[in-house]
């Protein structure tokens, strides 16, 4: 599915839109990558699918917009591994069945930890890009989308 999205240029258009929407927010695409990783993790429930999918989808786009390689790879890996904590995680189901622990309680614990980690990842990206402006350049003011352009279909 990730290859299909990447080859059809849907992802390129999506990241172009996200880049214009985030405008002056440094690290906006890295933040979007974390959020997309959480969504992919919730859909697949498998870490490998999240990491590989984000690697195909997001990594090229982040590097295209001159994001530093370390930040790009870190956001792909951090977002991709969130799938292990988000319900319906395959690991939680297997662990719950083998140990006799309630799968529902594992899911509720995993969801709260995932939300906490996502917030920490987002804060880390915001702090790093605030302190070092070169790792995630902002869009110049003349190229930013106006409010009318953001909501124009």
9-46 residue pLDDT tens: 777 777 777 777 887 788 888 988 888 888 877 777 77
Confidence of residue 75 (pLDDT cuts 50, 70, 90): very high
* Rounded distance between C-alpha atoms, residue 74 and residue 55, angstroms: 11
Residue with more model confidence, 8 or 130: 130
The verdict on residue 153 lying in a domain is: no
Q: What is the pTM of this model?
A: 0.81
* Rounded distance between C-alpha atoms, residue 38 and residue 50, angstroms: 8
Q: Which residue has the tokens 């988000």?
A: 86
Q: Which domain holds residue 103?
A: 2-142
Q: What is the DSSP letter of 135?
A: S
The verdict on residue 30 lying in a domain is: yes
Q: Once rounded to an integer, what is the mean pLDDT over residues 72-91?
A: 85
The verdict on residue 25 lying in a domain is: yes
- What the block records as the tokens of 153 is 């279909």
Helical residues (DSSP H) of the chain, grouped into ranges: 2-7, 10-22, 28-44, 47-57, 59-64, 69-81, 90-99, 103-131, 147-151
- Residues belonging to the chain: 153
* Rounded distance between C-alpha atoms, residue 15 and residue 65, angstroms: 10
Per-chain mean pLDDT for the chain: 84
Confidence of residue 81 (pLDDT cuts 50, 70, 90): confident
The answer on pLDDT for 2 being more than 70 is no
How many domains, in total, are found in the chain? 1
The verdict on residue 112 lying in a domain is: yes
The pLDDT assigned to 100 comes to: 93
């Amino acid at each position: 599915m990730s290859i299909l999205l990447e080859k059809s240029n849907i992802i390129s258009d999506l990241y172009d839109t996200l880049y214009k929407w985030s405008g002056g927010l440094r690290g906006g695409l890295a933040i979007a990558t974390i959020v997309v990783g959480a969504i992919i993790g919730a859909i697949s429930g498998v870490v490998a699918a999240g990491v590989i999918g984000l690697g195909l989808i997001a990594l090229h786009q982040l590097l295209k917009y001159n994001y530093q390689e370390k930040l790009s790879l870190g956001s792909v890996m951090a977002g991709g591994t969130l799938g292990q904590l988000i319900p319906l995680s395959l690991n939680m189901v297997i662990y719950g069945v083998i140990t006799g622990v309630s799968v529902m309680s594992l899911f509720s614990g995993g969801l709260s930890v995932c939300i906490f980690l996502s917030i920490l990842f987002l804060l880390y990206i915001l702090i790093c890009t605030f302190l070092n402006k070169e790792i995630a350049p902002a869009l110049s003011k003349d190229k930013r989308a106006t409010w009318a352009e953001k909501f124009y279909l």
